Chain A
Amino acid sequence: MALLDFEKPILELEGKIAELRHVNSDSEVNIAEEITRMQSKADRLLSQTYSKLTAAQKVQVARHQERPHFLDYINGMIEDFTPLAGDRNFAEDHALIGGLGRFRDQSCIIMGHEKGHDTQSRLKHNFGMARPEGYRKAQRLMKMAQQFQLPIITLVDTAGAYPGVGAEERGQSEAIAKSIETCLCTKTPIISVVIGEGGSGGAIAIAVADRVLMLEHSIYSVISPEGCASILWRSGDFAKDAATALKLTAQDLYELKLIDGIIEEPVGGAHRKKEETIESVASHIEKALKELTPWDGEKLVKSRRQKFLQAGRDL
């Protein structure tokens, strides 16, 4: 597991417990009491640490390699997932995956960014940074959802849209802009969950939804703290300050009324208990979907637009 610096005391304690357990098994001295005491101390430390994570620490957790990614959620909560490839113009983008499936016995379209879990898959998925083809595929799937009256679930987890020559050549800006426009015109329910990193335009392109939810330790920001620091502080060393100033945590954004809800993570973060996290996300999506069903397409579009028009107006 990739090490988070602020978790060090907890991991040390857990290491000691493991050692003691080892000793315990082949010695006559009863140290069970000591182990229990240390275990509860470790648990306490973990929940304490995670209950007051700083913005910069949340950035680390949100990017944690072991955090459940898009395909983990697909495996955990979508039956008969059938990926659909290509934008019908240029290419298939593995950074933004989408397709048909059944969620809690209901047909749906699901899409999201996949970052990959090892070097090989990360390269394949371009670290979750989509190119214009990805956003054009997203538009295609949203239109399909409308045609067949299927609800749309989007899972957001990207550092941002890919900044490359080809991406610019093929109109990254236009692809994102049109993707937002398509979200705003789609006459079926859209539910978005930021499961890790919500990176700027590349994230919002598929997150203009009737319900926008965020996992407890996920982040959502107009620019990465590193990028912001290097522009405004003129040095990437101030990324921690930028993370705080940007108000990019789920808690900050809920307070600013820019998202609709926060999904709690297991103690110690989603990377510690993947199944539990996925189950929790699924039940929140189910609840949101119930609230939005049955739907009137016109009204849905109207209220979605009204919601985003209202964003930031009451501050």
Chain B
Amino acid sequence: MNWLSNLLPPRIRSFVGEQREVPDNLWQKCTSCEAMLFHRDLEENLNVCYHCGHHLRITVAERLKMLFDDGKYEKFPVPDVAQDPLKFKDRKRYADRIKEAQAKTGLKDAITIAKGKMGGLDVVIAAFNFSYMGGSMGAAVGEGIVLAAETAVKNKAAFIAIPSSGGARMQEGMISLMQMPRSIIAVEMVKDEGLPYIVVLTDPTTGGVSASFAMVGDIQIAEPGSMIGFAGRRVIEETVRETLPDNFQTAEYLLEHGMIDMVVPRKDMKATLVRMIGILMKQPYDAGGEVNGKNGKAAKNGKNGQGSKAANVKASDKVETAVHENMAGQKTSGKKAQDQVRAARRSVSNMKSSPEESGEVAANPKEAVTS
């Protein structure tokens, strides 16, 4: 902005020809390897650093777009709850913090509830937006999880929770602690109906969120490098007075300690979810290979970085192991199951296949569908 445009009223300003601002977000620094990333390449690569494979945080909108078929889904409004029931005030009023967070994110609260198809399967997703007050869980978020679970039950759909949260929302005091049992009650509704409940842990998942619905999934998945734990790193360091290992509380650390089923890179997330839900629900599915980024181009993985490639390959190896174990378990159970095994095997080969091939499968879904 120059001094002239400041003086002129907005309508005239456009005549004068406002100086075109150069977007300052063309380049972004990777929060892990600090390489500069061009926004278009980054978007194409599902916001995964193409140098080191680090999974950058993404918005819920971006995530839902890459998970649902054709990026299409139905969004449900976050239910109304008593706002600021404690009239909480620290250095700032909670009511003001809510307004700020809403203005900043354009969201009503930290949760988004969406229903749609994934690989042809009905799925309800409850996903957290970390940029809304650190994705903290208060009454609105809890109510959102209840609504998502009820929607899943009503539609006989699988339920996927995708937390990204620092924990309970302190400004709602005990009401936020109550969301721990409440969110688990929601999950029980889904489980009681025999529908799959899958948790995709993303960076970060800690505190009251990790100690409730986020840790009772039928299947627990995590994105590579996500920070997942109960107590904060600093609190632990202060308590035990020792330096913690670098990989402490990472997704890989949890996998190693048997706390989660698998670590899945973003580009394989959809195919993995579809395959498992399809198998669990005994329904035909289209695990059409890789997740598509913008312009339908498949995401690439660490094309410039050796280390990253290794990391991602390792993760998908683990996915494969899981698949093979599933297959072993199903070998004896009838023709239908065998067909599903075949489909699973095919989807594995899809995952390994080139982007073009998987694009074909996606365009021709019947091929990948069984039973």
Contact = CB atoms under 8 A, between A and B. Distances in A.
A164 interface: yes
Nearest to A234: B91
Interface in A281-315: 305, 308-309, 311-313, 315
A163 B239 contact: yes
| Nearest 6 interchain pairs by C-beta | A163-B231, A232-B90, A177-B215, A173-B210, A315-B82, A172-B230
Contact of A221 (B85, B174, B249): B174
Contacts of A185: 188
Given A222-B173, A247-B173, A309 B249 contact: no
A204 interface: yes
A312 B175 contact: yes
Interface stretch (A33-41, A108-116, A238-246, A267-275): A238-246
Interface of B: 81-82, 85-86, 88-91, 139, 146, 168, 170-178, 180-182, 184-185, 187-188, 207-208, 210-216, 228-232, 235-236, 239-240, 242, 244, 248-249, 257, 259
24 contacts: A165-B242, A167-B230, A168-B236, A172-B230, A173-B230, A177-B184, A177-B216, A180-B184, A181-B184, A184-B181, A200-B168, A205-B211, A223-B168, A233-B90, A242-B90, A246-B174, A247-B174, A256-B85, A258-B175, A308-B181, A308-B182, A311-B175, A313-B81, A315-B85
Contact of B185 (A167, A176, A184, A222): A184
Nearest to B205: A173
Given A173-B229, A222-B208, A258 B178 contact: yes
B216 A181 contact: yes
A205 B216 CA distance: 13
Contacts of A169: 257
Interface in A247-275: 247-248, 253, 256, 258
A140 B320 CA distance: 34
A224 B279 CA distance: 44
B211 A312 contact: no
B248 A168 contact: yes
Given A201-B230, A245-B90, A174 B215 contact: yes
A238 B182 CA distance: 30
A232 B166 CA distance: 14
A232 B89 CA distance: 10
A170 B256 CA distance: 11
Contacts of A308: 178, 181-182, 185
Contacts of A253: 174
B208 A200 contact: yes
B259 A171 contact: yes
Contacts of B240: 164-165
A271 B177 CA distance: 28
B178 A311 contact: yes
B230 A222 contact: no
Nearest to B249: A168
Contacts of B176: 222
Given A181-B187, A204-B181, 6 more contacts: A168-B248, A177-B213, A201-B211, A201-B230, A309-B146, A312-B81
A2 interface: no
B170 A223 contact: yes
Given A167-B230, A172-B230, A180 B181 contact: yes
B91 A232 contact: yes
Interface of A: 161-165, 167-174, 176-178, 180-181, 183-185, 200-201, 204-205, 208, 220-223, 228, 231-234, 238, 241-242, 245-248, 253, 256, 258, 305, 308-309, 311-313, 315
A188 to B, nearest CB: 17
A68 B140 CA distance: 38
A309 B180 contact: no
Contact of A312 (B91, B139, B207): B139
B239 to A, nearest CB: 5
A69 B260 CA distance: 36
A169 B249 CA distance: 8
A65 B216 CA distance: 36
A181 B191 CA distance: 12
A159 to B, nearest CB: 11
A151 B119 CA distance: 46
A181 B188 CA distance: 8
Contact of B177 (A181, A200, A234): A200
Nearest to A169: B257
A80 to B, nearest CB: 32
A67 to B, nearest CB: 21
Contacts of A167: 230-231
A309 B185 CA distance: 7
Nearest to B209: A173
A163 B242 CA distance: 13
A233 B240 CA distance: 25
A257 B321 CA distance: 49
Contact of A184 (B168, B173, B175, B188): B188
B331 to A, nearest CB: 31
Given A246-B173, A247-B86, A315-B85, A177 B182 contact: no
A184 B139 CA distance: 19
A163 B182 contact: no
A222 B248 contact: no
Contact of A165 (B180, B182, B214, B248): B248
Contact of A228 (B85, B89, B170): B170
Nearest to B238: A163
